Structure 1
Amino acid sequence: MSEVIVFDVAHGNCCLIRSQNAHAVIDAPCKALLLNTLEDMRITCVDVAFISHADKDHIAGVIGLLTSESIELKKLYLNPDSQKDTRIWRQLRAALKVAERQGKCEVILSLTTVMPGIVSVGEVDVRVEAPSNSFAAGGSGSTDERGRRITSNSISAVLRVTTGEHPGLLLAGDIDEVGLDDALENGRDLTARTLVFPHHGGLPASSDATSFVETIMRAVTPSLVIFSNGRGKHDNPRPEIVGPVARTGCGIACTQMAHACNQSVIFKREHLEPHRAQGQEHGASCAGSMTIDLSGDGRRLASKHSAHQKFIDDAVETPMCRPAPPETDGPDVSQ
């Protein structure tokens, strides 16, 4: 069986790929959920890890993985970011230096459509759909051909995780409209059955939210959209994002419960999967951590999806994932 677990890590991203005794990690934010989960699963070796971009909520947990004495990390892909001078980015660079000296982990400073392009993890292919080599070469702080500023989010890696010809899962990192335009202009295939929506459902920096949603939804055509969000953090996912997504008719699952959906926490757990979830202890989880089956066509397990939908119907006061009925001028009395 090949699968991806999308973890509830509050505000941040973290996924684990499992296939044929091979394992890969994509992003890892603060706290020890990733390391604790690997220990739960008795995983002592991670074949490859990918860091989508240099933000704290995507990199902090990788430091623990690099320095762990019980778990081996064989290979790490990431893009340099000369504009980052945060404490956590400096700590990551220090951990990379130690790993390099000790020969513990091969570090490749490129995560683009050209290098590595595609990485195999057991039966799973991880395809880098963004950034392009030429776009990443400019780096954060530069501008694109239209004069728009390129940020760390612009060069966030977008990874499509598939088996065979199945549509699989698209992990969009924090890509913004500038990076998304570059991917589409280069003809990249973003289609996927499940989309982990970029930037935790936050508003795009410089474009209309509805336009951004329509562009990425048209490119991906997902049947399920996941928001990896932290309850109360930046009010993500924002209604301006969730609304247009819901109107497409696809399923929606947030890792944690947004304040806009329910003002109080809900301690029901029957619908949650058994994996660790950051919000579970405090009643903040909505869908919690989710397993995507790659052996089929990249969907969540039907029983778990149904249980989550029932939880929404029974317990959530004003769920954003349920689009409001269209307004009418009155009852239809035509014969």
Structure 2
Amino acid sequence: MAIISVLDVGHGNCTVIQDAQNVIIDAGFGDGLLNFLQQARITRIDQIMVSHADSDHLRGLIALLSLATISIGKLYLNTDSTRSANTDKFWKDVIFLIEDAIINNRMDENPVELYRTGALIDIGEFKLEVVYPTYSLIKTGPGGISPDGHSMSSNGLSAVIKVLTTQVSALLLPGDVDEFGLEQIKKLGFNIEAQVAVFPHHGGNADTNNLADFTTHFCQLVSPNTVLFSTGRGKYGTPRMEIVSTIKALLPLAYISCTQLSKSCAKLPPLASNSHLNAAFAKGKSNNSCCGGTFELNVTNATVTIVPKAAHESFVNTYVPLAVCRIYPN
């Protein structure tokens, strides 16, 4: 059975799909992705998609590209004119490591841009759809002006990717899409509904003055029954309470979880083992900071099963009674 893993890499986004092809969508920050791949004994990555150039989505490529034991097929990576190899060390490192991987035959093809083509990418049981951005927007790029007069940021052009089968839209990976991106998706009539969504910006500041409105807009477009936050304990106060409370008000039956335990939920890590977590690598296991840890999504027919959902709910009910995903009224 093909497996989708939403990784606990701390404050960062990273998803690995093990199917007929191995696919990575965003690489997180640090060596969490590499640790996951080594534990899973994955040495061939057929496709890598990086939603945008923020370090918490991109920097994990540094460890990956540095290893001669891992080969890569195709890399989708949007350039960002607001970043320079002279001023952005991580961007510079990634660019030079990509070149080294190509020269030394560890990458099959030159990187290509990531934008909506209208075609599905078949990777086995799953298909990938790059819903956004459009070709014209990505060619204008961060720092440019959209046709309707808006100044565009890297977040506004963050790739939004769906993982689906012939029966179900299983997972939405929106990167750090902001209100501008959501408005473009709505205006152009693109469908981003999915059963499971990783919330943008790790549940933090979404380049907006009104997080409740942004959350409402996102939930209305996606209609998920599960919302996951890829968080690092103690980082930026994520997920923000107004985001969680808005989700609970709009989607009272939705399952909500974070990869790591927010300090808003528990000032100190609970005195509990990691027995509620699945066996996959999770960065928070080393210091007992996991909440849900790394999540595995199994898809059967039109049903998406989250592991460790039941064990995680029991953990929260027992050890984290003041978790923000539990105490807000529906």
- Give the structure-2-normalised TM-score: 0.93
Larger radius of gyration: 1
Q: Which residue of 2 aligns with 1:255?
A: 259
Residue of structure 2 in register with 1:167 after alignment: 169
Match of 1:292 among 292, 297, 314: 297
Cα deviation digits, residues 223-260 of structure 1 (max 9, x gap) = 00000011111111111111101222111010011111
Q: Can you list the C-alpha shifts for 1:185-244, whole angstroms capped at 9, x where unaligned? A: 111110100000001001221341111111111111100000001111111111111110
Cα-to-partner distance string for 1:89-145 (whole Å, 9 max, x where unaligned): 111111122223334321333100028x43221221110011111221211011224
The residue number in structure 1 matching 2:66 is 67
Does structure 1 residue 100 correspond to structure 2 residue 99? no
Letter in 2 for 1:294: V
- Secondary structure of 1:279's counterpart equals helix
Cα contact 2:10–2:29 (8 A) shared by 1: no
SS in 1 for 2:325: coil
**Unpaired segments ≥5 residues, structure 2:** none
The code of the aligned residue for 2:322 comes to T
- Distance in structure 2 (CA, Å) of the matches to 1:32 and 1:10: 10
Measure the CA separation in 1 of the matches of 2:35 and 2:328. 40
Tell me if structure 2 keeps the 8 A contact 1:162–1:294.
Answer: no
Determine if contact 2:172/2:193 at 8 Å carries over to the other structure.
Answer: yes
Partner of 2:114: 111
* SS of corresponding position for 2:33: helix
Contact 1:135 1:182 in 2 (8 A): no
Look up the match of 1:312: 316
Tell me, yes or no, if the aligned pair for 1:225 and 1:253 is still in contact at 8 Å.
yes
One-letter code of the match for 1:96?
I
In structure 2, distance between residues paired with 1:74 and 1:33: 21
Cα distance in 2 between the residues matched to 1:109 and 1:313 = 46
CA–CA distance in structure 1, aligned partners of residues 24 and 131 of structure 2: 17
Contact 2:176 2:206 in 1 (8 A): no
| Structure 2 Cα separation of the partners of residues 67 and 84 of structure 1 | 22
1:260-271 matched pairs, under 5 angstroms: 260-266=264-270, 267-271=272-276
Assess if the C-alpha contact under 8 Å between 1:4 and 1:293 holds in 2: yes
Query: Is the 8 Å Cα contact of residues 80 and 141 (structure 2) preserved in structure 1?
Result: yes
The residue type paired with residue 164 of structure 1 is T
Please give the alpha-carbon distance, in whole angstroms, between the structure 2 residues aligned to 1:12 and 1:107: 25
Q: Describe the SS at the equivalent of 1:237.
A: coil
- The runs of at least 4 aligned residues of structure 1 exceeding 4 Å deviation read none
Q: How many residue pairs end up in the alignment?
A: 323
Shift of 1:295: 3.6
Structure-1 separation of matches of 2:83 and 2:302:
38
Cα deviation code 1:32-82 (max 9, x no counterpart): 222222222221211111111001111111122223211111110111111
Preserved contact between residue 70 and residue 106 of structure 2 (Cα < 8 Å): no
Q: For 2:127, what is the secondary structure of its paired residue?
A: strand
What letter corresponds to residue 288 of structure 1 in structure 2? G
* Equivalence map 1:134-283=2 (5 Å): 134-247=136-249, 248-249=251-252, 250-266=254-270, 267-283=272-288
> What is the CA–CA distance in structure 1 between the aligned matches of 2:63 and 2:235, rounded to whole Å?
23
Q: Is contact 2:68–2:106 with CA below 8 Å preserved after alignment? A: no
Determine the C-alpha separation between the residues in 1 that align with 2:300 and 2:199. Answer: 22
CA RMSD of the aligned region, Å? Answer: 1.7
Residues 248, 329 of structure 2: 8 Å contact kept:
no
> Aligned to 1:308, what secondary structure does the other structure show?
helix
What is the identity, as a one-letter code, of the residue corresponding to 2:102? E
Greater shift in the superposed pair: 131-140 or 103-112: 103-112
Q: Is the Cα–Cα contact under 8 Å of residues 167 and 301 in structure 2 kept in the other structure? A: no
- Taking the aligned partners of 1:161 and 1:223, their CA distance within structure 2 comes to 15
CA contact (8 A) 2:264 2:324 kept: yes
Q: Is the Cα–Cα contact under 8 Å of residues 7 and 15 in structure 2 kept in the other structure? A: yes
What is the percentage of aligned positions where both structures have the same residue? 33
Structure 2 equivalent of residue 120 of structure 1 = 122
Shift, 1:13, TM fit: 0.7
Aligned-pair CA distance for 1:25? 0.7
For structure 1, the residue ranges without an aligned partner over 5 or more in a row are: 327-335
TM-score normalised to structure 1 length: 0.92
Equivalent residue of 1:264, what SS? Answer: coil
